[in-house]
Amino acid sequence: MGRTVIGLLAASALAVTGTASAQAAPTDLSVAYTRPSADYGQLDSVSSHDANSAWATGSTGNSGRPLVVHWDGHTWSEVATPNLPDSALTTVLAVGHAEAWAIGTKAPGLPIVAHGRGADWREVPVPLRAEDQPELTGLTEGWLVGTVLRAGHRLPISLRWNGNAWLEVPVPLPAGVVEGALNAVEAHGPHEVWATGSAVTPDPDGTSHSRIFVTRWDGHAWTPVSTPPVPSLPTGGVASGELLTGPWLVGGNTAFRREIYTFEHWNGHAWELGPAAPTEDDGGAAVNIVRGASAGSPGQLWIAAQQLTGSHRSAPRILRWDGTKWVAYPVPAELLAGSGQGWAVAAGHGGPTWVVVNTQSYRGAGSYASYILRAG
């Protein structure tokens, strides 16, 4: 009786192994790792290389230290990062067995790029000036994307790894666009890299509107690519490409705190509208905010999201588009005691599918926790 709610959550989560039982249903999610936090720390990203190597990153919270966790095929374990400055690693990419890149922010609000091989994590310099207020938001093999402030305008940037250093590569905007940003990037090979974000176009009445911006690298240069129209927004609405994974693009359209998500699919020749966003009919798993996405088997898409359930409360929602419908994956009951969000997902390609869920139990100090769930 003396244990707190978070203590019960931690004990329950730690008692579960990283391997689902043989009787587990296809839509089961089991807890493989949990990390309670007393200082607002959390995991932000997860990436899988194969069945024996996956990474998750984030921040330890008020202490300022980066949080790095590795899957070795048997267990998830925290990796010390003594060579990294205080920072939050918000996006990670597994690129080899026990090797990964990560991006995030460090004091005083500057971007950080880190490379890890096993337990050896180190910062890698990037050619960005603090006065340009740079932000790095997207990471794929050999590329980084983000935004800088130059000549009074927010502009998209890309950086390419040449084997020894990161070098900036210009990103042209479409005609008539005055500002733009890149949020995500996905490489399909050296001659096919996609990036998405937003492009701002001025209107005759002196206002402006934002739309989804997609650009493609062909091995020589970035070229803007058109996308299908998305649902119209009221004045002041903002549309942007938020996530890229495999042949999928997730677009977020925001107006008056209302999120309208669109899913687009590359058919080999053009971007086309994909499935409608999940609703209550999809296993009661309507979503308000999509935070993570990962391409699964051909034609399939995983999303990690949250559904607003009340004032300052939300529930994690994990779904998979199977080519014809959304399939909801129920989150373990012990993660639903307070408020929670599906935060990131890495579809298994020869290995498990991993999902990051962050929760708050509203029971004082230590009430925050991050979980890594295993699907199936």
SS3 string, 196-254, reads EEEEEEECCCCCEEEEEEEEEECCCCEEEECCCCCCCCCCCCEEEEEEEECCEEEEEEE
Q: What confidence score (pLDDT) does residue 350 get?
A: 79
Closest CA to 346 of 69, 40, 11: 69
CATH number belonging to the domain at 5-375, selected among 3.30.1640.10, 1.20.1560.10, 2.120.10.70, 3.10.20.30: 2.120.10.70
Q: How confident is the model at residue 47 (pLDDT cuts 50, 70, 90)?
A: very high
349's tokens? 């390609």
Pick 276 or 38 by higher pLDDT: 276
Q: Running DSSP on this structure, what letter comes out for residue 108?
A: T
Name beta bridge partners: 353: 375
Beta strands 192-202; 208-217: pairing state: antiparallel
> How far is Cα 142 from Cα 167, in angstroms, rounded to an integer?
10
How many CB atoms sit inside 10 A of residue 21's CB?
10
How many CB atoms sit inside 10 A of residue 365's CB?
10
CB-based burial of residue 260 (10 Å sphere; 0-12 exposed, 13-18 middle, 19+ buried)?
A: middle
Query: Region 257-276: what's the mean pLDDT?
Result: 86
CB-based burial of residue 113 (10 Å sphere; 0-12 exposed, 13-18 middle, 19+ buried)?
A: buried
Q: What confidence score (pLDDT) does residue 367 get?
A: 80
Q: What confidence score (pLDDT) does residue 9 get?
A: 26
Q: What confidence score (pLDDT) does residue 256 get?
A: 43
Domain ranges of the chain: 5-375
CB of 357 closer than 8 Å to CB of 343: yes
Q: What confidence score (pLDDT) does residue 362 get?
A: 62
Over residues 164-221, the pLDDT tens digits come to: 999 999 999 999 898 999 999 999 999 999 999 999 888 788 777 888 999 999 999 9
Question: Above 50 in pLDDT, residue 355?
Answer: yes
Q: Quick check: helix, strand or coil at residue 88?
A: strand
Q: How confident is the model at residue 90 (pLDDT cuts 50, 70, 90)?
A: very high
Element housing 6 (H / E)? helix 5-14
Question: Above 50 in pLDDT, residue 11?
Answer: no
Q: Running DSSP on this structure, what letter comes out for residue 130?
A: G
Q: Checking phi first, is residue 94 left (phi over 0); if not, alpha (psi -120 to 50) or beta?
A: beta
Q: What are the backbone dihedrals phi and psi of residue 247, each rounded to the nearest 5 degrees, phi first?
A: -90, 15
Tell me which of 233-237, 239-243, 289-293, 332-336 is least confident: 233-237
209's tokens? 């509107």
Provide CB contacts within 8 A for 275, sequence distance 6+: 263, 321, 326
